C-alpha cells in the first residue's frame, strides 16, 4: 500500500474488485507518446499505474501512443523503455504500440461508417473549427453529415489509398453538433498524414486521432482502469461513446487525477523540447532537466523519485508541488545510502610547516555514520593539503569560527592545526597559500588537554588528490511557476542564467579515483554528488552535484504545520 493511504482511485479499484467485476485483477496502462523524454510528471503516472497493478495482483501495460508520425521516433521509444525500467518497473512482455492496432482501428472506423455513426467530411480544418460553435452557441452541421454510408466508405478507402492531399478530408464521428460538450460535436477520428511512421513506415497515410485510438486501444488490451490527467475529463463521454459503440463488456473505465506541477520547473514535453532545440540545456538528459534521464544523470536515486510520487499522493484538484519536497526526499535517501568522502571544490593550498616533507600517514575515516555496515576507509595525510577557500578568512568577522591567522581548527579525522601566516601574490594581493603548524598530540582530532576547538573543516592531501571537474547545478528557472502562461513573453524569459557552474580543478580524496559512473557520494559539508554518466573518464573525472546538504523543506513544512 502506498504511504498516503488509499486514494480515491485505489478506492474505486477496491470497490470494483469487491463487486467481482474483474476476476483477474485490475489491468492498467501507462500510455506515453514517443515524442520526447519522460519527465517527473510521467513518473507520477508510472508509479500510479504500475503501483496499482502490483498492489492488487493485476497487470500494467506500457503502451506507446504512436499515432502522430513526424514528431515521434524510435529514439524516444528506447529512452522511454529505459527510463521506465530504471525507475524500477518492468513491463516485461507487456510492451504494446497503438500502431499495432491500426488494422483493428481501421475496421472499427469502417464499422462506424456502415452503422451511420461516422462520415467523411470535406470541410477544411478551419471550416471545421469555425462550425464547431462555442459553449453558448451550438455547432453547425457539416453539409457532408448525411452523406450516404457507401459514399463515405468509398471516400475513406481512397483516403487510405493516398488519393487525397493532407487536409482534404477527415472522417468524423456523427454524434451531436448541439451537445453542450464540445468533444461530442462530430469529432474527427481519422485524418490524412503523409509522413513516415517510425514503425509502420509508409503503410498508412491515414492516422487515427488520439480520442479514437486511445479508448479503443484500452478496450483491445482489456484495460480495466484507464487513468489519465484532469484535462481529459471532458473527453470521457467521447471515450465512453467509442467504447460502448464498438466493444462488448467489460469496458475500461476512465478516471482522471491531477497532474503533477512542480515549482521552478516546467513539465510539458513541448516546453522541454524547446529547451533542447534552442540549446538552452545540453540535451534531454541535461542534469538540470526534470526528465527521468536528466535526474538519473544528476544522481537522483530512483527510489527517491518513487518515494516522492508516493508522498504527493493522488488528488482530484491541480496544485503546485514545492520542488523543495523533492530535494528533501533526495537528501533523506542519500543520507542513508551515500558514502562520505572529502573533496575540496575551491582549493586553497595549506602547508603544515612542522610536518616532514616526505612523510605521509593513513587516517581512518567513517564511510557513513548512518550505516555502520558501510565501514571505514583510509585517507592519506601529508605536509601539503588543500582546504576550501571560504574556510579561511584573514580578517574574520565576529561569527566566523573557522580558520584565521593565529587560530586553531580541527582537520576532519586528522589533527588540530594552527594558522601561522599567509602568503600573498605580490601583484594581486590574493592569498595563495596559508602556513600552519599541527599538534602531533591530537591525531584523530582530539586535544588531550581538552581545549575547545570550535570548527572542523575538510581537506585533501595535495600529492594524493584526484584532480576533477565538479558541476554545480541550480534551479533552471527563477520564477516559481514558469509554466504559467503570461501575456507577454514566455517561460524562457525566466530561465536562470546561473543554473550551471563548472569548477576545475577540484581535488578529491584518492579513494574516489575508481568511482564508477553513476556512483553517488556525500562530499562532507558540501552536498551529494555523483560521477557523471556521460563525460566522466578515469583521466578527467567529472562529478555532478545532485543536491546541497541544507534542507529548506524541513523549515517550510514546520512553518506550514504551525499555520504560518
Ligand atoms: P506533456 O504535457 O508533458 O506533453 P503528455 O500528456 O502529452 O505530457 P504523454 O506521453 O501523452 O504526454 O503522457 C503519458 C501519460 O503520462 C499520460 O497518461 C499522461 O496523462 C501522463 N502525464 C503526463 N504528464 C503528467 C503530469 N505532469 N503528471 C501526471 N501525469 C502526467
Ligand atoms: Mg498526451
pLDDT at 185 > cutoff 90: yes
Ligand nearest to the CA of 318: 1
CB atoms within 10 A of CB 36: 23
Q: Pseudo-torsion of CA 198, 200, 205, 207, nearest 10°?
A: -80
Contact present, 329 and 311 (Cβ < 8 Å): yes
- Which is more confident, 554 or 132? 132
How far does the centroid of ligand 2 lie from the alpha carbon of residue 228, in Å?
Answer: 9
β-pair type (466-473, 542-547): parallel
Torsion of CA 66, 72, 75, 81, to 10 degrees: -30
Q: Which ligand is nearest to the CA of 35?
A: 1
Nearest atom within ligand 1 for CA of residue 33: 10
* CA 562 from centre of chain: 31
Give the model's pLDDT for residue 489.
72
Burial string for 216-254 (b: 16+ CB within 10 Å, else e) reads: bbbbbbebbbbbbeeebeebbebbebbbeebbeeebbbb
Q: Which residues does residue 257 pair with via DSSP β-bridges, in sequence order?
A: 229
What is the 490 CA–ligand 1 centroid distance (Å)?
A: 21
pTM of the model: 0.95
Centroid of ligand 2 to alpha carbon of 128 (angstroms): 22
pLDDT at 442 over 60: yes
Q: Which grid coordinates are listed for 122?
A: 470535406
Nearest to 333 by CA among 305, 313, 311: 305
Concatenated DSSP letters for 77-142? Answer: HHHHHHHHHHHT---TT-EEEGGGGHHHHHHHHHHHHHTTSEEEE---HHHHHHTT--SSS-----
Q: How confident is the model at residue 250 (pLDDT cuts 50, 70, 90)?
A: confident
In the block, residue with C-alpha cell 501575456? 487
| Residues annotated catalytic, as ranges | 33, 259, 269
Is the domain covering 8-257 a CATH 3.40.50.620 domain? yes
pLDDT band at 563 (very low <50, low <70, confident <90, very high): low
Ranges of each domain in the chain: 8-257, 269-339+477-486+514-559, 343-458
- For 25, residues 6+ apart whose C-beta sits below 8 A from its C-beta are 17, 53, 56, 57, 58, 59
Ligand 1 pocket check: which of 229, 233, 268, 312 to mutate, most ligand atoms within 8 Å of Cβ?
A: 229
pLDDT at 561 over 80: no
Q: Do domains 8-257 and 269-339+477-486+514-559 have the same CATH topology?
A: no
Centroid of ligand 2 to alpha carbon of 287 (angstroms): 24
Determine which residue's CA is closest to atom 1 belonging to ligand 1: 268
Q: How many CB atoms lie within 10 A of CB 186?
A: 24
Cell triple for 560: 506550514
| d(CA 182, ligand 1 centre) in Å | 22
Minimum CA distance residue for ligand 1 atom 10: 32
> Which atom of ligand 1 approaches the CA of 270 most closely?
4
Average pLDDT over residues 378-389: 98
Cβ atoms within 10 Å of 361's Cβ, excluding its own: 13
> How does pLDDT run across 107-135, given as a tens digit for each residue?
999 999 999 999 999 999 999 999 999 99
| CA 547–ligand 1 middle distance (angstroms) | 26
Q: What is the 3-state secondary structure (H, E, C) of 357-388?
A: CCCEEEEEEECCCCCHHHCEEEEEEECEEEEE
Nearest CA to ligand 1 atom 29: 259
Taking residues 310-338, report their average pLDDT: 96
CA-closest residue to ligand 1 atom 26 = 41
Distance from the alpha carbon of residue 231 to the mean position of ligand 2, in angstroms: 10
Tallying the residues shown for the chain, one arrives at: 564
Q: Which ligand is nearest to the CA of 223?
A: 1
From atom 9 of ligand 1, which residue's Cα is the shortest distance away? 32
Mutate to test the pocket of ligand 1, among 41, 77, 98, 481 (most ligand atoms within 8 A of CB): 41
Query: Probe ligand 1: pick from 9, 29, 36, 42, max atoms within 8 Å of CB?
Result: 42
Distance from the alpha carbon of residue 21 to the mean position of ligand 1, in angstroms = 28
Query: What is the number of the ligand closest to the CA of 65?
Result: 1
Mean pLDDT of 185-208: 97
Query: Which residue's alpha carbon is at the smallest distance from atom 22 of ligand 1?
Result: 42
Nearest to 155 by CA among 217, 117, 110: 110
Q: Which atom of ligand 1 is nearest to the CA of 268?
A: 3
Q: Is 149 helix (H, G, I), strand (E, B) or coil?
A: helix
Q: Among the listed ranges 489-498, 528-537, 550-559, which one has the minimum average pLDDT value? A: 550-559
Rounded alpha-carbon distances, angstroms, from residue 156 to 129, 167, 462: 21, 13, 76
The CATH number of domain 343-458, selected from 2.60.40.1180, 3.40.50.880, 2.40.240.10, 3.40.50.2000? 2.40.240.10
Residue with CA closest to ligand 1 atom 23: 42
The CATH code of the domain at 269-339+477-486+514-559 is 1.10.1160.10
Considering only CA atoms, which residue is closest to atom 4 of ligand 1?
269
Please check whether residue 252 is in contact with residue 226, taking contact to mean a CB–CB distance below 8 angstroms. Answer: yes
**In angstroms, what is the span from residue 210 Cα to ligand 2's centroid?**
8
Q: Say how far apart CA 316 and CA 230 lie, in whole Å.
A: 7
Please report which ligand is nearest the Cα atom of 290.
Answer: 1
For residue 44, what are the CA distances in angstroms to 12, 144, 292, 366, 418? 18, 43, 11, 36, 53
In this predicted structure, what is the pLDDT of residue 3?
Answer: 52
Pocket test for ligand 1, best of 36, 37, 45 (most atoms within 8 A of CB): 45
- Tell me, what DSSP letter sits at residue 338? P
The closest alpha carbon to 454, from 420, 388, 407, belongs to 407
Q: Which residues contact 120 (CB under 8 A, 6 or more apart)?
A: 113, 144, 147, 151, 152, 155, 156, 159, 169, 170, 171, 172
Q: CB within 6 Å of ligand 1 — which residues?
A: 31-33, 41-42, 44-45, 65, 228-229, 259-260, 267-270
- Ligand 1, residue 34: give the atom nearest the CA: 10
Residue 1 has pLDDT above 50, yes or no: no
φ and ψ of 205, to 5 deg: -125, 5
Which of 26, 20, 67 has the alpha carbon at shortest distance from 48? 26
Amino acid at each position: 500500500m502506498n504511504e498516503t493511504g488509499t486514494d480515491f482511485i485505489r478506492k474505486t479499484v477496491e470497490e470494483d474488485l469487491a463487486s467481482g467485476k474483474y476476476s483477474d485483477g485490475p489491468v492498467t496502462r501507462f500510455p506515453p507518446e514517443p515524442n520526447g523524454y519522460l519527465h517527473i510528471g510521467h513518473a507520477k503516472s508510472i508509479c500510479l499505474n504500475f503501483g496499482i497493478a502490483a498492489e492488487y495482483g493485476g497487470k500494467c501495460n506500457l503502451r506507446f501512443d504512436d499515432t502522430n508520425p513526424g514528431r515521434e521516433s524510435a529514439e524516444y521509444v528506447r529512452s522511454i523503455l529505459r527510463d521506465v525500467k530504471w525507475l524500477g518497473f518492468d513491463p516485461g512482455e507487456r510492451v504494446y504500440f497503438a500502431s499495432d492496432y491500426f488494422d483493428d482501428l481501421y475496421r472499427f472506423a469502417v464499422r462506424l461508417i456502415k452503422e451511420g455513426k461516422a462520415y467523411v467530411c470535406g470541410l477544411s480544418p478551419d471550416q471545421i473549427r469555425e462550425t464547431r460553435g462555442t459553449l453558448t452557441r451550438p455547432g453547425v452541421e457539416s453539409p457532408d453529415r448525411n452523406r450516404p454510408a457507401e459514399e463515405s466508405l468509398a471516400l475513406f478507402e481512397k483516403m487510405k489509398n493516398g488519393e487525397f492531399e493532407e487536409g482534404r478530408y477527415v472522417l468524423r464521428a456523427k454524434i451531436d453538433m448541439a451537445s453542450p460538450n464540445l468533444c461530442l460535436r462530430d469529432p474527427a477520428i481519422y485524418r490524412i498524414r503523409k509522413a513516415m511512421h517510425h514503425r509502420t513506415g509508409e503503410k498508412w497515410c491515414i492516422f487515427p486521432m488520439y480520442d479514437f485510438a486511445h479508448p479503443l486501444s484500452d478496450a483491445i488490451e482489456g484495460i480495466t482502469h484507464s487513468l489519465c490527467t484532469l484535462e481529459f475529463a471532458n473527453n470521457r463521454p467521447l471515450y465512453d461513446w467509442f467504447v460502448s459503440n464498438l466493444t462488448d463488456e467489460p469496458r475500461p473505465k476512465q478516471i482522471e487525477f491531477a497532474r503533477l506541477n512542480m515549482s521552478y520547473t516546467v513539465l510539458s514535453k513541448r516546453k522541454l523540447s524547446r529547451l533542447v532545440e534552442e540549446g538552452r540545456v545540453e540535451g534531454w538528459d541535461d542534469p538540470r532537466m526534470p526528465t527521468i534521464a536528466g535526474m538519473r544523470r544528476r544522481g537522483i536515486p530512483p527510489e527517491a523519485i518513487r518515494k516522492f510520487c508516493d508522498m504527493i499522493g493522488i488528488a482530484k484538484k491541480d496544485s503546485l508541488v514545492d520542488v523543495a519536497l523533492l530535494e528533501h526526499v533526495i537528501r533523506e535517501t542519500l543520507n542513508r545510502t551515500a558514502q562520505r568522502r572529502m573533496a575540496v571544490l575551491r582549493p586553497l593550498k595549506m602547508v603544515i610547516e612542522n610536518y616532514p616533507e616526505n612523510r605521509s600517514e593513513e587516517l581512518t575515516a567513517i564511510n557513513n555514520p548512518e550505516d555502520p555496515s558501510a565501514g571505514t576507509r583510509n585517507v592519506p595525510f601529508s605536509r601539503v593539503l588543500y582546504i576550501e577557500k571560504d574556510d579561511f578568512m584573514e580578517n574574520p568577522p565576529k561569527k566566523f569560527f573557522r580558520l584565521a591567522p593565529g587560530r586553531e581548527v580541527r582537520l576532519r579525522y586528522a589533527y588540530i592545526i594552527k594558522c601561522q601566516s599567509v602568503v600573498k601574490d605580490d601583484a594581486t594581493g590574493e592569498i595563495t597559500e596559508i602556513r600552519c603548524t599541527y599538534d602531533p598530540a591530537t591525531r584523530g582530532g582530539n586535544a588531550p588537554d581538552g581545549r575547545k576547538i570550535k570548527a572542523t573543516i575538510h581537506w585533501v592531501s595535495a600529492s594524493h588528490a584526484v584532480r576533477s571537474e565538479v558541476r554545480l547545478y541550480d534551479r533552471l528557472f527563477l520564477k516559481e511557476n514558469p509554466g504559467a502562461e503570461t501575456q507577454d513573453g514566455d517561460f524562457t524569459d525566466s530561465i536562470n542564467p546561473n543554473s550551471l557552474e563548472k569548477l576545475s580543478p577540484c581535488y578529491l580524496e584518492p579513494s574516489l579515483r575508481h568511482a564508477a559512473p553513476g556512483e553517488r557520494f556525500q562530499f562532507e559539508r558540501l552536498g551529494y554528488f555523483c560521477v557523471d554518466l556521460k563525460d566522466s573518464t578515469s583521466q578527467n573525472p567529472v562529478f555532478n552535484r545532485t543536491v546541497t546538504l541544507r534542507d529548506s523543506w524541513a523549515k517550510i513544512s514546520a512553518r506550514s504545520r504551525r499555520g504560518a
